[in-house]
Amino acid sequence: MNDRLQDLASAYLNGELSETETAELRALLRNDPQALREFVRSMDFHAELRKIHLERKGTREALKELRPRRRLLWISAAAAAVLVAGLALWLRTPAPGARLESLVGQVRGATLGEPIPAGREIETVGDSRATLVYEDGTRVELKARTLISDVAQARVLLTRGALTATVRPQPADRPMTFVTPQGEARVLGTTLRLSVEADATRLEVTEGKVRLTRGADSVEVAADHVAVASKTAILDSKPITELRAADLVRRMAPNSWLSIPGTRLRQACPDPARFAKLKDPRGIIESWSGGALDTRRNRLVVWGGGHVNYQGNELYAFDLDTLRWERLTDPTADPALGQQVNRDGTPMARATYNGLAYLAQADRLFALGGDLANSPGPAADITWSFDFGTRTWQNRQPGGDRPPSWVGCTSAYDPATRKVWWGESRTPANAGLFSYDVEANRWTKHAPDHFYYQTSAVDTRRGRLVCIGDGKLFSYDIRGGNPVRKNWATTGAEALIAKGNPGWDYVESSDRLVGWAGGAVQVLDPETRVWKSFDAPGAPAATANGIFGRWRYVPSLAVFVVVTGIDENVHFYKPPQGD
């Protein structure tokens, strides 16, 4: 719509159109078909905004708002029962069709056993589940954190989350339709699973066939097939088992989040009945714990628990190609609480903080420090490595000037020096910058300093260890002879810097340091030291105690991966182009 027409339309709706402007607008609409079309669209747009907002007020409030004349109209309509019934939907009374049949947890916008009012938004709160049943027996199960609206006779608008539907056979001319931000799924009768992410709609069909439409494109999705509709890709259907991360990422828009369906870590957790004494597995993530990126196998390795929380010491890996979790080891069933080493030779469960790193040249996981299970206990000062091939732990027993190790330390692996750079927190006298030479199996202390609640990343272009968190942002040149701390003064990203243990990684291809601790992603140009902030819908809630190394850049996919809880899907974040 051109600016002048826009101005005239706004003035028209504001009651501010002069006689001259009225004549101008009328002439424009008569003589310019494009202007007429845009104006009609514009009026429809305003009218629909009004409708949406009236619906949101709900039936009761809407009736309260009716002016006396409208009230009379309502009363006169009520005098004719048939007429009232006929206008029931229009006046926002409950619609025929669906009712809330069952509920686990809490749902907003609907009452158990009651019909769903037309236009009402329905949201499952947290991990709640709800099932809607239509008069024809069609069932729609809403998953956790799912928002739907516009539940009409044969239509559901899915805005967020996921649902599973078992649709009874529908008339050929009136298929059940699921509308999402990216497309529509039309169903004549089948079983399907539909989920909406930040910029993609994923449709999985279990039985029958579903037509998924995005704009002018459409694809028929058969049983055991999946299709993803997004802005950036051609619609296609493929067997469910063949879905790969690359397909999903390719469809993501720059500066967007993607919650990867079906990727909660809990599904890989050991049988709780068998390991009940190990306490709540949510501590794997929530108890100040981190992760590392195994670049050889393209997977995010997660290890955590400890403190007074989870006592299992098992390792997990999220495969970034198959999008599946794997439990790499079983937990030690009878941990030697109060000790660093279990009777089976494995390390005691712990809050791992930022004490994990992937040793690329050795293809091992490095682990040091943290807060052992059933703390307070001894310092976790053993340098461990985990062999992914044999799936065994090794106490490295290194030489040199070893860090005492404690909670709140930080580490990052530098492929150029082939060392783990370690920021030690324990007491100012012993704290400082250390490095661990993997091949020499030897520690060196470089400088006294005090690290606490920072996350670090290696700027591989400049050879700098850059640390952020707990109100500090500073670096060390780790490829020169004598590392010296340099504090960075920047403007912006104050909230990220203030956080303890934020997510933080360096992207060599774009030469950016990228941090996240909930909300907007913060991007720092290490050359200019200028921050950029990128807010995008769909970000997960940050883990309360920090993100640690569970936020990692995945070069093969050009996205960040983050794990925020065992009951949360793994998320991808695709950075903006150039950043």
Partner 1 sequence: MTADAPDKEDYLRRFLPAESSLRGYILTHVGDLDVAEDLLQETALVLWQKFGQYDPTRSFLAWALGIARLEILDSRRRRRPGRSLVDADLDTLVSGEILRLEPEMPRQRQLLRLCLRDLPASMTEAVRLRYEQGSSLDQIARGIGKSLAAVKVLLHRARISLQDCVRLRGES
Contact positions vs partner 1 (CB under 8 A): 1, 6, 10, 12-15, 17, 22, 25-26, 29-30, 36-37, 39-54, 56-57, 69-70, 73, 77, 82-83, 85-87, 89-90, 149-150, 152, 157, 159, 179, 181-182, 184, 214-215, 230-231, 537
Identify which of residues 11 and 103 has a Cβ nearer to partner 1 in the complex: 11
3-state DSSP helix/strand/coil % of the chain, to nearest 5: 20, 40, 45
The distance of closest approach from Cβ of residue 398 to partner 1 in the complex, given in angstroms and rounded to an integer, is: 52
Nearer to partner 1, 76 or 267 (CB): 76
Cα separation, 174 vs 178, whole angstroms: 12
For residue 233, the minimal CB distance to partner 1 (Å) is 10
Nearest-approach distance from CB 515 to partner 1, in angstroms: 23
Say which amino acid occupies 172. Answer: A
Instruction: Give min distance, CB of 49 to partner 1, in A.
Output: 5
Q: Which is nearer to partner 1, 229 or 300 (CB)?
A: 229
Structure tokens at 274: 């068998």
Does residue 200 contact residue 251 with C-beta atoms inside 8 Å?
Answer: yes
Residues 6 or more apart whose Cβ sits within 8 Å of residue 162: 143, 146, 193, 194, 195, 196, 261
CB-wise, 53 or 391, nearer to partner 1? 53
- 399-400 vs 442-448, strand pairing mode: parallel
Q: Residue 186's closest CA among 220, 150, 210?
A: 210
Task: Write the burial class of residue 183 (CB in 10 Å: 0-12 exposed, 13-18 middle, 19+ buried).
Answer: buried
Taking every pair of Cα atoms in the chain, the longest distance, rounded to a whole number of angstroms, is 93
CB of 90 to partner 1, least distance (A): 6
**For residue 169, which of 199, 191, 201 has the smallest C-alpha distance?**
191
- Closest approach, Cβ 152 to partner 1, in A, equals 8
Other CB atoms within 10 A of residue 53 CB:
10
Nearest approach, Cβ of 146 to partner 1 (angstroms)?
14
Nearer to partner 1, 73 or 447 (CB): 73
Question: What's the min distance (Å) between Cβ of 259 and partner 1?
Answer: 16
Cα distances from 429 to residues 119, 403, 421, 450, 547, in angstroms, run 65, 11, 19, 9, 28
**What tokens does 491 get?**
């403007």
CB nearer to partner 1: pick between 89 and 379: 89
Distance, in Å, from the CA atom of 410 to the CA atom of 294, rounded to the nearest integer, reads: 18
Measured from the CB atom, the residue of 96 and 189 that comes closer to partner 1 is 96
Q: How many angstroms separate the CA atoms of 100 and 80, rounded?
A: 29
Complex with partner 1: residue 40 or 416, whichever CB lies closer: 40
